[in-house]
Amino acid sequence: MLIKVRGLEHSYMEGTPFENQVLYGVDLDIEEGEMVGLIGPTQSGKSTLIQYLNGLFIPKIGEVVVDGIDVREQRSRLRKLRQKVGLVFQYPEHQLFEETVGKDVAFGPKNLGLPEDEVRRRVDSALEAVGLDPEVFRDRYIFALSGGQKRRVAIAGVLALNPRVMIFDDPTAGLDPRGREEILATIKKLHSEQDLTVIFVSNSLEDIARLVDRLIVLAQGKVIMSGTPREVFSQVKKMREIGMGILQTVDVMSRLRDRGWDVATTALTVEEACDEILACFRKKASGEGRE
Amino acid sequence: MIRVEKVSFAYNADSDSPVQALREVDLEIERGQFVVIVGHNGSGKSTLAKHFNALLIPTEGNVFVENMNTRDEKHIWDIRQKVGMVFQNPDNQLVATVVEDDIAFGPENVGVPPEEIQRRVDEAMRIMGISHVRDKAPHMLSGGQKQRVAIAGILAMQSNYIIMDEPTSLLDPVGREEVMESIRKLRREGISVILITHFMHEAIEADMVVVMDEGRIVMKGTPREVFGRAEEIRALSLDVPLVTQMAMRLNDMGVDIPRNVLSVEELIEHLC
pLDDT tens, A215-269? Answer: 999 999 999 999 999 999 989 889 988 888 889 999 999 999 999 888 888 899 9
- Residues A134-160 pLDDT 10s: 999 999 999 888 888 899 999 999 999
Whether residue A177 and residue B239 make contact (CB cut-off 8 A), yes or no, is yes
Chain B residue closest to A255 (CA)? B268
DSSP 8-state code for residue B39: -
Residue type (1 letter), B56 = L
What percentage of chain A reaches a pLDDT higher than 70? 99
What percentage of chain A reaches a pLDDT higher than 90? 61
Q: Which has more confidence, A29 or A179?
A: A29
Q: Is A278 on the interface with B (CB under 8 A)?
A: yes
Q: Which has more confidence, B95 or A62?
A: A62
CA distance B141 to B99: 9
The values of phi and psi at residue B81, to 5°, are -70, -40
Q: Is B177 on the interface with A (CB under 8 A)?
A: yes
Q: Is B143 on the interface with A (CB under 8 A)?
A: yes
Domains of chain B, each with CATH number or no CATH: 2-223 (3.40.50.300)
In A142-247, where does DSSP find H-type helix? 147-159, 177-193, 205-211, 229-233, 236-241
Q: Which residues of chain B does A243 touch, with a Cβ-Cβ cutoff of 8 Å? A: 172-174
User: Does B178 have pLDDT greater than 80?
Assistant: yes
Chain B residue closest to A275 (CA)? B250
The values of phi and psi at residue B3, to 5°, are -120, 120
Closest CA to A150 of A120, A119, A175: A175
Round to the nearest angstrom and report the end-to-end CA distance of chain A: 58
The stretch B90-100 carries a mean pLDDT of 87
- Residues A98-129 pLDDT 10s: 999 999 999 999 998 999 999 999 999 999 99
Interface test with B, best of A277, A280, A282 (most B CBs within 10 A): A277
User: Does B158 have pLDDT greater than 90?
Assistant: yes
Q: What is the pTM of this model?
A: 0.88
pLDDT band at A184 (very low <50, low <70, confident <90, very high): very high
pLDDT at A291: 44
In contact, A224 and A217? CB cutoff 8 Å? yes
CA distance B17 to B10: 10
Q: What is the dihedral of CA A109, A111, A113, A114, to 10 degrees?
A: 10
In contact, A230 and A26? CB cutoff 8 Å? no
Largest CA distance in chain A: 79
Mean pLDDT is lowest, of A72-76, A170-174, B155-159, for A72-76
Chain A residue closest to B246 (CA)? A270
What percentage of chain B reaches a pLDDT higher than 90? 82
In contact, B102 and B136? CB cutoff 8 Å? no
In contact, B196 and B165? CB cutoff 8 Å? yes
Element spanning A63, H or E:
strand A61-66
Element spanning A69, H or E:
strand A69-70
Chain A residue closest to B270 (CA)? A256
What percentage of chain B reaches a pLDDT higher than 70? 100
In contact, A153 and A145? CB cutoff 8 Å? yes
pLDDT at A280: 87
Element spanning B245, H or E:
helix B242-252
Q: Which residue from B166, B243, B253 is facing A248, i.e. has the nearest CB?
A: B243
Q: Is B45 on the interface with A (CB under 8 A)?
A: no
User: Does B10 have pLDDT greater than 90?
Assistant: yes
Q: Which residues of chain B does A245 touch, with a Cβ-Cβ cutoff of 8 Å? A: 172-174, 177
CA distance A119 to B267: 54
Mean pLDDT is lowest, of A60-64, A166-170, A208-212, B204-208, for A208-212
Q: Work out whether strand A35-39 and strand A197-201 pair parallel, antiparallel, or are unpaired.
A: parallel
User: Does A37 have pLDDT greater than 50?
Assistant: yes
- Residues B208-247 pLDDT 10s: 999 999 999 999 999 999 999 999 999 998 999 999 999 9
Cα–Cα distances (Å) from B57 to A59, A88, A101, in that order, read: 51, 36, 33
The overall average pLDDT reported for chain A is 90
Residue A168 bridge partners (DSSP)? A88, A200
CA distance B88 to A53: 27
Q: Which has more confidence, B205 or B93?
A: B205
In contact, A213 and A227? CB cutoff 8 Å? no
Angle ∠(A2,A108,A185) on CA atoms, nearest 5: 60
Q: Which residues of chain B does A248 touch, with a Cβ-Cβ cutoff of 8 Å? A: 201, 242-243, 264
- Residues B27-49 pLDDT 10s: 999 999 999 999 988 899 999 99
Residue type (1 letter), A142 = I
CA distance B26 to B32: 19
pLDDT at A288: 63
The overall average pLDDT reported for chain B is 93
Whether residue A245 and residue B239 make contact (CB cut-off 8 A), yes or no, is no
Closest CA to A90 of A226, A203, A190: A203
Q: Which has more confidence, A41 or B69?
A: B69
